[in-house]
């Protein structure tokens, strides 16, 4: 095993069993959300997975903080083209599940959706993105805000964006491994499973102590190694499929060229030299 520290996805799935481990996750959330976060409890994890491979492909946990807000943390290892829709579904599901029938809508709690992805989601040059909801005037170009009465009644809420879900996307593989601030130190860990000695981000000192591979029980260590092996298998499979797809494209291009040359009466020997195809392949076109 190349690193001394446990991967973040496996750690939050298997090690959030006591308050000591909460401090690590609290540190990460504090650095990302730019406010002090205290975890009240973990509401759900991957107990609803139906496929054995699901627990390796993604991690999905729901955290409730001391303010009563909800934080969804999703870690996705494999590409999903409809991942943005899944983000929306996740926040909608939490909102509806935790607003009881008959309650006033003012009881809807803020939801943060934190998405740590190990594939190229969307198109953009940054590696950390924040999505918020603002209402902008189409004619006056102003922002719709809350009235003084709304701010009085909805204590702690100053603008509509404070009500609607916030979405964070961390594109781990796009990070250049240069930690320019404390949040970058966390992204560095997410990418490299390594906590450098000079890192001072909140939660790092606790992670450096608690999330070490050599602290795992024999049973957990066996499970962790299996997790790493699965991720390696998946990476190799994806690479193989990519190579095969590229080969097929190149072969199809050669076939199209050969067809064109053949239809124009070019000698088979010339087509063979031009495309690298065999006589049999050309004759079958």
Residue-wise pLDDT for 79-114, tens only, equals 889 999 999 999 999 999 998 878 898 999 999 999
| Residues in the chain with pLDDT values less than 50 | 1-2, 46-56
The two structure tokens encoding residue 31? 């650095």
Q: What is the domain partition of the chain in residue ranges?
A: 8-215, 231-284
**Tens-place pLDDT, residues 224-260:** 888 888 888 777 877 788 777 888 888 888 888 888 8
Q: Compute CA distances 23 → 69, 107, 166, 168, 200, whole Å.
A: 17, 28, 22, 20, 14
Residue carrying the six token digits 């209402």: 135
Tokens of 230: 């699965």
pLDDT at 146: 94
The pLDDT value given to residue 145: 94
Structure tokens at 273: 């030299």
* Whole-number pLDDT of residue 71: 96
CA distance 264 to 256: 13
Rounded Cα distance, 67 and 235, in Å: 39
**What is the side-by-side order of every strand in the sheet holding 58-65?**
39-44, 58-65, 70-76, 111-117, 166-171, 128-131
> The dihedral of CA 202, 128, 212, 46: what is its sign?
positive
Q: By the 8 A CB rule, do 25 and 13 touch?
A: no
């Amino acid at each position: 095993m190349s690193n001394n520290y446990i991967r973040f996805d496996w750690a939050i799935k298997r090690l959030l069993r006591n308050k000591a481990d909460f401090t690590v996750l609290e540190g990460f959330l504090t650095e990302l959300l730019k406010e002090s976060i205290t975890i009240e409890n973990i509401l759900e994890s991957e107990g609803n997975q139906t496929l054995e491979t699901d627990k390796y492909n993604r991690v999905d946990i729901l955290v409730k903080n001391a303010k009563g807000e909800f934080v969804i943390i999703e870690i996705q290892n494999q590409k999903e083209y409809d991942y943005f829709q899944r983000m929306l579904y996740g926040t909608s599901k939490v909102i509806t599940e935790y607003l009881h029938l008959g309650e006033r809508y003012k009881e809807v709690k803020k939801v943060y959706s934190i998405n740590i992805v190990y594939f190229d989601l969307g198109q953009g040059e940054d590696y950390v993105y924040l999505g918020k909801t603002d209402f902008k005037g189409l004619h006056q170009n102003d922002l719709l805000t809350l009235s003084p009465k709304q701010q009085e009644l909805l204590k702690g809420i100053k603008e509509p964006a404070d009500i609607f879900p916030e979405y964070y996307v961390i594109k781990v593989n796009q990070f250049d491994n240069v930690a320019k601030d404390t949040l970058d130190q966390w992204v560095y860990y997410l990418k490299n499973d390594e906590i450098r000695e000079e890192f001072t981000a909140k939660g790092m000192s606790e992670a450096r102590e608690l999330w070490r591979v050599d602290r795992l029980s024999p049973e957990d260590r066996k499970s962790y190694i299996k997790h790493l092996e699965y991720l390696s298998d998946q990476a190799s499979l994806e690479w193989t499929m990519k190579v095969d797809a590229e080969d097929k494209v190149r072969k199809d291009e050669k076939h199209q060229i050969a067809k064109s040359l053949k239809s124009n009466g070019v000698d088979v020997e010339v087509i063979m030299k031009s495309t690298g195809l065999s006589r049999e392949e050309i004759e079958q076109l």
